[in-house]
Amino acid sequence: MRKLMMPLVIVAGLFSASAYAEDHLHDGDIEVEIEGGKLGTHGAGHTQVGSGYAIFESDFRDLAKGPYATNAPGFDSHNGVFEQNDIVGYQAIGSLWAWNGSSWTSSLLNGETIKLGGNLGETTTWGATGVTGDVIGTLGQAGSAGNIHEHLTFTIAGASGLPSNGAYYITLQLISADLNSSFDGIVANGKYASSDPFYLVFNNGLSASEFHASVHGLSDIAPVPEPSSYAMLMLGLGLIGWRLRKRT
């Protein structure tokens, strides 16, 4: 993590671009809102059936940051959503998953990893075994207009050679934060409740139809019932069978 030993008043200026963001949201960005004291995300093209988590899409081959990196989607909010100087961070969850053409798997073809760089120099890495590096990182800080508009950079790499063509997804959550005591990172502060987790699905060389299938493969995943749910189901079926037998 990069060391930024400077007074708070200077650090706050790191995110001054937010103050000049337009009041309309940019196409393709993740809309950040506060609802009932809780951070939320809007604008997703899909949600997962089982969890209700939002699914946002991106493409490593958009060439904005090179052939294996992207700064999309960005994160954007309307004016007045936040108080000036509110800091929003991200928390990395889970591991990196890949689409094998028919289902999602944690078995990666070439040991791929996806890295995310935070606004205070944090480096967060998702791999097959989980998250390494900075588990939380800085998204941005609200300016005088009370809004945030930030673009962070995501990069994919293979363990040896180029990353394999395919679709990949990671899981994130937004958190409310303060600067830490050394001004080189953030700590969660609980001012706003954390958002629900959400997914970012990246296309790396698939056709539009192949990528579409991968996104639907994620959105159509249904929840696995808990053991207690199985017990209730079996009890209900038993009662129905007992009543049918009693009637006959």
Note the pLDDT of residue 63.
79
Q: Judge whether 26 and 197 are in contact, CB under 8 Å.
A: no
DSSP string, 77-93: --TTSS-TT-EEEEEEE
**pLDDT for 137-196, tens place per residue?**
999 999 999 999 999 999 999 998 899 999 999 999 999 999 999 999 999 999 999 999
CB 200 within 8 A of CB 214: no
Q: What SS3 state is found at 162? A: coil
Sign of CA dihedral 175, 179, 182, 184: positive
Question: Residue 66: its pLDDT value, please?
Answer: 86
Give strand pairing partners of 132.
125
Spatial separation of the C-alpha atoms in residues 142 and 85, rounded to whole Å: 5
- Around Cβ 225, how many Cβ atoms within 10 Å? 11
pLDDT at 103: 95
**CA–CA gap between residue 154 and residue 126 (Å, rounded):** 11
Element (H, E) at 210: helix 208-219
Q: CA-to-CA distance for 62 and 30, rounded, in angstroms?
A: 17
Per-residue pLDDT, 245: 52
For residue 214, count other CB atoms closer than 10 A to its CB. Answer: 25
Domain positions in the chain? 8-247
| 32 within 8 A of 18, measured Cβ to Cβ | no
Q: What is the pLDDT of residue 28?
A: 80
- From the list 55, 67, 70, the residue with the least C-alpha distance to 162 is 67
Q: Token pair of 191, please?
A: 């001012």
Summarize pLDDT for 57-115 with one digit per residue, the tens.
Answer: 999 998 788 889 999 999 999 999 999 999 999 999 999 999 999 999 999 989 999 99
**Cα gap 233→188, rounded to integer Å:** 40
User: Could you read off the pLDDT of 185-194 as tens digits, one per residue?
Assistant: 999 999 999 9
pTM of the model: 0.80
For residue 152 the two structure tokens come to 């962070």
Cβ-contact 71, 151 below 8 angstroms: yes
Q: So what's the pLDDT on residue 58?
A: 96
Structure tokens, 242: 């007992």
The conformation of residue 159, written as its DSSP 8-state character, comes to: S
Confidence of residue 22 (pLDDT cuts 50, 70, 90): very low
* CA 49 to the chain's CA centroid: 17
